[in-house]
Structure 1
Amino acid sequence: MIFAIGQDKIHVTGETRAEFLARFGQMLRNGVGVAVATINLDHLVKLHEDPHFRAAYGAHDIIVADGNPIVWLSRLAGRPVALMPGSDLIEPVCAMAADLGIAIAFIGSTQPVLDKAADSLQSRHPNLRVAAKLAPPMGFDPESAQAAALLQQAQASGAQLCLLALGAPKQERLAMVGRRVCPQMGFLSIGAGLDFLAGAQMRAPYLVRLFAMEWLWRMLGNPRRLAGRYLKCAIILPRHALNALRLRRAGGKT
């Protein structure tokens, strides 16, 4: 699936989750650097508004669909993609890392959250090695010298994969720096996934997610912060639906 943002194009992988995990694991095992972004409708809004965010996305090697609207648009375009929210990828990616003997690092959130998330994951995956748990300070600039030093600290710990829990656009911008500073490492942006694991934030119940209403659950929990964000998402949806229809009419052509 392709999303046109001005002159730029965002390519979302058409792989199944199993295919993506197999490729991701193979790249990590071979020491091939890779950055994975998880796109949703809010990211599309930011991509239109922020050229720095577009540059960060352009540095990513794989982009997967984090939200149902991305999946629906892909189906409308006749180029379906699988739903792979970052929060849902943590468990299978950590299971894979444990099986392959790949050490991981957490970057983001707070130290108590990182400690609890590590304990939770290691209780289910005893062979998982969390080599670094790094919580940047408030006001952290993901493109600063401090950020580069943090990434080098993660690499020095022996970690081959960083789970970035900084939220967009910081986590994607940090992954862009990581691809330059630590070119053989893997990076996966997971948003609030570690907070959910640690119990610091409550994720929408399974049935709410099943019926694609997680956005409403979140907005009702924090309407002042999220109502404006979701309004922007609603505004850009028709534009991308029209683009999806154009892709469908184009058939195999880009």
Structure 2
Amino acid sequence: MYFEFHGRRVAVNIPRRDLLDAEIRARFKARQGFALATVNLDHLVKLAESPAFLATYQAQDLVVADGRPIVWLSRIARRPVELVPGSDMVLPLCRLAAEAGVPVALAGSTEEALLDAEAALTAEVPGLEIAWCHAPSGRFDPEGEEADRILHRLEETGIALCLLALGAPKQERLAQRGRRLAPRTGFASIGAGLDFLGGHQKRAPAWVRATAMEWLWRAMSNPARLLPRYAKCLMILPGQMARAWRIRVR
């Protein structure tokens, strides 16, 4: 499944969860880094608005579908992909890291949230080594000196997996730069995944997620910030559905 903006494509190139696990295992074994992004409707809005974000997304090695609308669009196009939410990848990625015996870093959110996430992860994943936690400054710039220090430390210490909880587009941009400055590190952009794990944000109940209404749950939790975002997402859906149908008939 792919999406096209300004004549350039962004593809969901890992359509299933088992393929993602196999790819991550292979990269850990080869000590080869990666940048993993999770595309959703909000990202599609940003991709249409920002050529810079589009270039950043095209630089990601692995892209999965985060959000049921992406899955539905892939079915319309007859190029089906599985739902792989970024928040749900935290524990599986850490289990793969523990299995491979490679160290992990947590970056983003707040210091308190990272410490709570670290405690939850080490309790849940036997053998997991969390080698470093870093909560960036409030005005973190993925192009700035602090970002350089993060990436150099990851490279120097041989950390194989860095979970990025910085929000889009900062986390994807840092991952893009990390592919050059810390080429042995795998970067996974997981948004609020660490906050959910540490209990600093409350995720929608399982039944809400099962009915594809998590977006409404989140919108009601912070309407001033999220309702305008989701309104933009709903506005682009008809056009994306038409594009998916054109892919189908080709």
TM-score (norm 1): 0.96
CA distance in 2, matches of 1:4, 1:51: 12
Is the Cα–Cα contact under 8 Å of residues 122 and 128 in structure 1 kept in the other structure? Answer: yes
CA distance in 2, matches of 1:102, 1:69: 34
The one-letter code sitting in structure 1 at the alignment partner of 2:120 is: S
Change (3 A) 1:189 1:90: same
The one-letter code sitting in structure 1 at the alignment partner of 2:92 is: P
Aligned equivalent of 1:12:
12
1:75-103 superposed Cα distances (whole Å, 9 cap, x missing partner): 00000001000110111111111111011
Aligned equivalent of 1:44:
44
Moved more, 152-161 or 56-65: 152-161
User: Aligned residue pairs: how many?
Assistant: 250
The one-letter code sitting in structure 2 at the alignment partner of 1:112 is: E
Is the Cα–Cα contact under 8 Å of residues 155 and 184 in structure 2 kept in the other structure? Answer: no
Q: How does 1:2-151 map to 2 (within 5 A)?
A: 2-151=2-151
Is the Cα–Cα contact under 8 Å of residues 29 and 102 in structure 1 kept in the other structure? Answer: no
Q: Deviation of residue 58 (structure 1)?
A: 1.4
Is the Cα–Cα contact under 8 Å of residues 5 and 48 in structure 2 kept in the other structure? Answer: yes
CA distance in 2, matches of 1:205, 1:167: 22
Is the Cα–Cα contact under 8 Å of residues 36 and 189 in structure 1 kept in the other structure? Answer: yes
Is the Cα–Cα contact under 8 Å of residues 13 and 81 in structure 1 kept in the other structure? Answer: no
Q: Deviation of residue 145 (structure 1)?
A: 2.6
Moved more, 73-82 or 137-146: 137-146
The one-letter code sitting in structure 2 at the alignment partner of 1:229 is: R
CA distance in 2, matches of 1:77, 1:23: 25
Aligned equivalent of 1:167:
167
The one-letter code sitting in structure 2 at the alignment partner of 1:40 is: N
CA distance in 2, matches of 1:155, 1:25: 19
Identity %: 50
Query: What is the root-mean-square deviation in Å for CA atoms of aligned residues?
Result: 1.0
* Unmatched 5+ stretches in structure 1: none
Is the Cα–Cα contact under 8 Å of residues 60 and 176 in structure 1 kept in the other structure? Answer: yes
Q: Deviation of residue 14 (structure 1)?
A: 4.7
1:61-87 superposed Cα distances (whole Å, 9 cap, x missing partner): 110001000000000000000100011
Aligned equivalent of 1:203:
203
Detail structure 1 runs of 4+ shifted over 6 Å in the superposition. none
SS at match of 1:140: coil
CA distance in 1, matches of 2:121, 2:194: 10
1:155-214 superposed Cα distances (whole Å, 9 cap, x missing partner): 333311110000111100110110111112111000000000110000001110011000
Q: Deviation of residue 50 (structure 1)?
A: 1.2
Aligned equivalent of 2:230:
230
* Unmatched 5+ stretches in structure 2: none
